[in-house]
Structure 1
Amino acid sequence: MKFIHAADLHLDSPFLGLTGLPNSLLADVRQSTFTAATKIFDQALAQQVDFVLLAGDLFDRAEQSVAAQAYLFQQFDRLNQAQIPVIVSFGNHDYLADQHQTVAYPANVTVLGSTVTTKTLTLRDGETVAISGFSYPQRWVTSDPLPDFPAHAATDWHIGMLHGAVATGSADHYAPFTVADLLGKRYDYWALGHIHHRQLLNQEPPILYAGNTQGRAINETGEKGAYLVTSDHGQLHPQFFETAAVDWATATLDASGVTDLTALGTQLTTWLTAHPAPRPTLTALTVTHLALTASDLASLRQGDWLQLYLRTHARQLKAAQRYLVALTPAVASQPLAAPQLDQQYWDQGAQTVFTSENLQATFGKLAQEPVLADWFGQKTVSTTLQQQAEQILAELMGEEDHDAS
C-alpha cells in the first residue's frame, strides 16, 4: 500500500502586510499555496499511490474563491483520470457550515461529513483499508471526538484522519484528543492536521502531523511538505517530501562596532553574501549589539531605513534569494524596576491580570477571526504579552524619572 498524507494547504492565503518585495516575487508568494499543493498531486501521480488523504484546512477561509475551487477540481480530476481516490476532511478554516462550494468534485473524491464516518477502499493488489474521520461542522469543535471513532475494522488496514490538537484541559477549541486515546483505537496510522509544524507524536503506529504545505508567516519557518507512506511487512513507513515554493526564516546579525546606518548597510550586505538561501526566503533579521543614535534607532524601528535598503540593494537580495520582511534591533532585556510603583503591587497585579481566563475575556470578539484565534491559542502568546507589558511599563517609568530630574 502507498498513499500520501497532507494537510493545511490553506489555498487563497492572502499574505497580508508584505511591503517592499519585488512585484514578481510578491506574485510568486501569493501563488505559493497553489504551487506547493500542486507538488502533492504531482507526487501522487508520479508514485501511482493508492489514495490521497487531505486532513483539513484545504482552503484558508470559509469563503472560497472561484479560483481556489476551480484549481482543486482540476487537481482532483487529474487524480481521477489515474483512478486515485482522494479522501477530504474540512477543518476549522473551511468548516462545513460556511461552505459555498458551487462545483461538484469528481467521482474519486470522498468528502467526510460532520459526524465520524468510515470509507472503505479495495486497493489494486486486493488489500482493504478503512479510513475514518470527519469534517468540522463549525469553526470550533470543543468536545473530544475519539469516542465516535470505531474500533479497527475487519480490513487489512485502518487509518484515522483528525484535524485537531492535543488536549490541554482548558480552552480546547480544535477537536481535543490524547495520544493514549488514539492508540486505544488500534489503528495502523493517524493522519493529523491543524498544527503547521510537522510532528511525530508516536512512532509505531505512526501518529503524525504533516504540517502545512507552504509557510504563510514568519512563525511558520522550517521545512514544509507532506508524507508519502508505504507499507512493508505489516508496518507503515512515512517519508517526508518538501513542497514549499517560498521559505520563511529568522536570523541574527551581530552588528558589534556599528555606530551609524551606513555601516549597518555595509554589514548587512556582507551578511547576505555569506548566507545565500536555496530558494526565495522571506527573512526576519534581528540585529544585536547596535550602538546607534536615538534618531537612527527610531528610523530603524519605524521601517524607513529598511524600505530604502530594499530598494537600493535589490540585486544583492536577489542573488542571495533572501528578502527582508523585518529588521529588528535587539534591546537588552532589563529587570523591571519600579521606583515610583511598589514592585510587590506590580507582581500581584500581574498574577491577577495575566491569567488565561482574563486574557481570553479581553481578547473578546477578536477570537471570531480564525487567523487571530489561531495566534492567540499558541502557548507562548501569554508570556509574550506579559513581557511586552513589562517592557512598556519600564519605558514609561524611565520617562517619568527623566521628567522628574
Structure 2
Amino acid sequence: MKFIHAADLHLDSPFLGLTGLPSSLLATVRQSTFTAATKVFDQALAQQVDFVLLAGDLFDRAEQSVAAQAYLFQQFDRLDQAQIPVIVSFGNHDYLADQHQTVAYPKNVTVLGSQVTTKTLTLADGETVAISGFSYPQRWVASDPLPDFPVHAATDWHIGMLHGAVATGSDDHYAPFTVDELLSKRYDYWALGHIHHRQTLNQQPPILYAGNTQGRAINETGAKGAYLVTSDHGHLQPQFFSTATIEWATATLDAANLTTLTALGTRLTDWLASQPAAQPTLTALTVTHLQLDATDLTSLRQGEWLNLYLRTHARQLKAAHRYLVSVTPQVQPQALTAPQLDQQYWDQGAAAVFTPANLQATFGKLAQEPALADWFTQATQDATLRPQAEQVLAELMGKEDPDVS
C-alpha cells in the first residue's frame, strides 16, 4: 500500500505586506500555494499511490475564489483519470458551514462530513483500508472528537484523519486530543493537520503532522511538503518530500562598531554574498549591536532605509536568492519605570491591563480573520506581546520632557 498524507494547502493565501518585492517574485509568491499543491498531486501520479489524504484547510479563507475551486477540481480530475481516490476533510479555515462550492468534485473524491465517518477502500491488490475522520462544521471545534472515532475496523489497515491540536487544558479551539487517545484506537496511522510545522507525535504507529505545503509567513520557516507513506512488513513508513518553491527564514547580522546606515548597507551586502540560499528565500533579518543616531534608527524601524536598499541592491539580492522582508534593529531593553508614581501601583496597573479579556477586546474584530485568530490564540502570544508593549512605552516615556510633571 502507498498513499500521500498532505494538509494545510491554504490555496488563495493573500501574502499581504510584501509589496517591496520585485514584481516577478511577488507573482511567484502569490502563486506559490498552488505551485506547492501541484507538486503533491504530481507526486501522487508519479508514485501511482493508492489514495491521497488531505487533512484540512485546503483553502485559506472561507470566501473561496473561483480560481481556487477550479484549480482543485482540475487536480482532483487528474487523479480521477488515474483512478486514485482522494479523501478530504475541511478544517478551521475552510469549514463546512462556509463551503459555497459551485462545482461538484469528481467521483473519486470523498468529503468527510461534520460527524466522524469511516470510508473503506479496497485496493488493487485486495487489501482493505478504513479511513475515519470529519470536517469542521464551524471555525472552532472546542470539544474532544476522539470518543466518536471507532476502534480499528476489521480491515487490513485503519487510518485516522484529524485536523486539530494537542489539548492544553484551556482555550482549546481546534478539536483537542491527547496522543494516548489516538493510540487507544489502535490505528495504523494518524494523518494530522492544522500545525504548520511537520511533527512526529509517535513513531509507530506513525502520528504525524505533515505541516503545510508552502510557508506563508515568517513564522513558517524551513522546508515544507507532505508525506509519501508506504507499507513495509506490517508497518507504515512515512517519507517526507518537499513542495515549497519559496522558503522563509530568519537570520542575524552582527553590526558591531557600525554607526551609520551606509556602513550597515556595506556589511549587509557582504553578508548576502557569504550566505546565499539554495532557493528563493524571504528573510527577516535582525541586526545586533548597532549604534545609530535617533534619525537613522527611525528610518530603519519604519522601513524607509530597507525600501531604498531593496531598490539599489536588487542584483545582489537576486544572486543570493534572498529577499529581505524586514530588517529589525535589536535594541537593549529599557527598564520600565514610572516617574513620580509608586512602582507598586504601576505594576498593579500593568497586571490589570494585560488580562486575556482585555487583550481579546483589543484584538476585537481582527479575530474574525482565521489566520489572525490562529496567531492570537497561540500560547506564546501573551509572553510576546507584553514585553513589546512595555518596550515601546519605555521608549515613549524616555522621550518625554523630564521637567514636565
Give the alignment of 1:38-187 within 5 angstroms.
38-187=38-187
Question: 1:398 & 1:104 partners in 2: Cα distance?
Answer: 61
Task: Quote the offset at 1:169 in angstroms.
Answer: 1.6
Give the alignment of 1:1-400 within 5 angstroms.
1-400=1-400
Question: 2:261 & 2:131 partners in 1: Cα distance?
Answer: 59
The one-letter code of the counterpart of 1:99 is Q
Question: 1:82 & 1:346 partners in 2: Cα distance?
Answer: 67
Question: 2:253 & 2:363 partners in 1: Cα distance?
Answer: 34
Question: 2:122 & 2:284 partners in 1: Cα distance?
Answer: 48
Task: Quote the offset at 1:404 in angstroms.
Answer: 4.5
SS of 1:8's equivalent? coil
SS of 1:365's equivalent? helix
Question: 1:122 & 1:258 partners in 2: Cα distance?
Answer: 67
Unaligned runs of 5+ in 1: none
Question: 1:375 & 1:305 partners in 2: Cα distance?
Answer: 28
Question: 2:191 & 2:353 partners in 1: Cα distance?
Answer: 38
Question: 2:141 & 2:110 partners in 1: Cα distance?
Answer: 21
> Deviations along 1:54-111, whole A, 9 cap, x unmatched?
0000001111111111111111111111111100000111111111111111111101
Task: Quote the offset at 1:212 in angstroms.
Answer: 0.4
8 A contact 1:165–1:194 mirrored in 2: yes
Question: 1:117 & 1:288 partners in 2: Cα distance?
Answer: 53
CA RMSD in angstroms, aligned pairs only: 1.4
Task: Quote the offset at 1:331 in angstroms.
Answer: 0.4
Task: Quote the offset at 1:179 in angstroms.
Answer: 1.1
SS of 1:384's equivalent? helix
8 A contact 2:131–2:159 mirrored in 1: yes
Task: Quote the offset at 1:403 in angstroms.
Answer: 4.6
Question: 2:320 & 2:66 partners in 1: Cα distance?
Answer: 36
SS of 1:214's equivalent? coil
8 A contact 2:334–2:395 mirrored in 1: no
The one-letter code of the counterpart of 2:309 is Y
Question: 1:390 & 1:158 partners in 2: Cα distance?
Answer: 51
Residues 401/341 of structure 1: CA separation in 2 closer, same or farther (3 Å cut): farther
Question: 1:188 & 1:345 partners in 2: Cα distance?
Answer: 57
8 A contact 1:281–1:322 mirrored in 2: yes
The one-letter code of the counterpart of 2:273 is T
Residues 267/403 of structure 1: CA separation in 2 closer, same or farther (3 Å cut): farther
SS of 1:110's equivalent? strand
Question: 2:359 & 2:234 partners in 1: Cα distance?
Answer: 48
SS of 1:264's equivalent? helix
8 A contact 1:192–1:207 mirrored in 2: yes
SS of 2:69's equivalent? helix
8 A contact 1:338–1:394 mirrored in 2: no
Task: Quote the offset at 1:348 in angstroms.
Answer: 2.6
Question: 2:371 & 2:309 partners in 1: Cα distance?
Answer: 30
TM-score by length of 1: 0.97
Question: 2:196 & 2:283 partners in 1: Cα distance?
Answer: 18
SS of 2:231's equivalent? strand
Task: Quote the offset at 1:401 in angstroms.
Answer: 5.7
Residues 254/154 of structure 1: CA separation in 2 closer, same or farther (3 Å cut): same
Name the % identity: 84
Task: Quote the offset at 1:37 in angstroms.
Answer: 0.4
Question: 2:149 & 2:121 partners in 1: Cα distance?
Answer: 17
How many residues are matched? 405
Question: 2:60 & 2:169 partners in 1: Cα distance?
Answer: 27
Question: 2:205 & 2:60 partners in 1: Cα distance?
Answer: 30
Shifted more, 242-251 versus 171-180: the winner is 171-180
The one-letter code of the counterpart of 1:9 is L
Question: 2:378 & 2:309 partners in 1: Cα distance?
Answer: 33
Task: Quote the offset at 1:19 in angstroms.
Answer: 1.8
8 A contact 1:225–1:243 mirrored in 2: yes
